[in-house]
Amino acid sequence: MHLRYQVLFVALLTSIVTAAGIPSSTDALTECKACPYSLCRNKPWNANNITLTCWTAGTKIVDDTTWLKTEDNCYVTQYDLKEYDGDYTVDLLYCGAISSDWTSLHAKTKYMSECFNTPYVLRKRVKAYKNEVDLTLTCVTRNTTVTDDDDRFEIMGSAKWYKTSSNCYVHEATLYHVEYEDELEDCGPTPGVDYYAHQPDPVTSSSLAPTATATPGLNATIFGTLDKRSDLTRRWIYNTTIGEEYANCTEKATINNSTENAVEQVFEFGQSIDVQCGTVEYGEGRDNYTIFLLTTDFCWVQDWMTDPNLIEAPLRQQAYPHCEVFTDTES
């Protein structure tokens, strides 16, 4: 009888500990979400004082589908928590199956659109959408505060970003007007999660199956050249003006002004233009090249004819998008 009561006492004590929750902490910046899926909105929480209350299954992060509910009533992936000596799925109650819950709204890219893992530039580019691509938006950043010394959130004077179904953020300046935006939830706090921390370890070459060798062609030439374009480093639509008496805006990015490269517009001195990405035409010799900028009118103007030039702004220099990288055609 004594042994029976001892077993019951241990079981009761275990249930009390479980009901009280398990304290934990994170190994890195992470998000706590309204539901255990990557597309769920983020919620405010105390990442320095975490108490886990139950577990469930959700989006697979690397190789782990376990998510934990916290006392802040939000879900964090087990993958981002410090290693636990026990087993949460044994030591905590099961939350039950949690359904996905996020808003959804249609949008379309107006210009070439980079999609970052967090809602500001100089972060990891997850997608590079071409123009006229249909997107599904899941939330919007309405309450971003921008300090005077940090304009990474802003493009063309706006700090509004939208999260897409690819779990990355596009800026409103690159989209057509989003109708019924009020129907979208706010994305919540975005702590700047490390994109690579949630990616599987790279597969070593020795474990890869043999593959066919691609035939060198236009893409190989273009993207081989991109690695050499250290002069071009900026990342977002910006405004500049024409610094010459006039500047031809041509159909193609080439100084060849033949009938095959029509002049689509002529910009005059001081005229304001917006440019969205750029490319380079090389002449003879490594240092003989011309930078071309694609305007929001979808014609090309030579960078040296603009004022300021592309590379004059230090922050813009850091991550320039080459027009060739914009290949994604699906949300």
Residues 173/162, Cβ–Cβ less than 8 Å = no
181 falls in which pLDDT band (50, 70, 90)? very high
Of residues 255 and 8, which shows the higher confidence score?
A: 255
Q: pLDDT class for 48, splitting at 50, 70, 90?
A: confident
DSSP label at 112? -
pTM: 0.78
- Looking at residue 19, its pLDDT comes to 53
Strands (E), the chain: 22-24, 50-61, 64-70, 75-77, 93-94, 105-108, 113-116, 125-129, 134-140, 161-164, 169-171, 185-186, 238-242, 246-250, 263-268, 272-282, 289-295, 300-302, 306-307
- In whole angstroms, what is the distance from residue 262 CA to residue 42 CA? 49
Instruction: Please report, as a single letter, which amino acid is at residue 22.
Output: I
- Please report which helix (H) or strand (E) contains residue 224, including its range: helix 218-226
Q: How confident is the model at residue 151 (pLDDT cuts 50, 70, 90)?
A: low
Distance in angstroms (rounded) separating the CA atoms of residues 166 and 124: 13
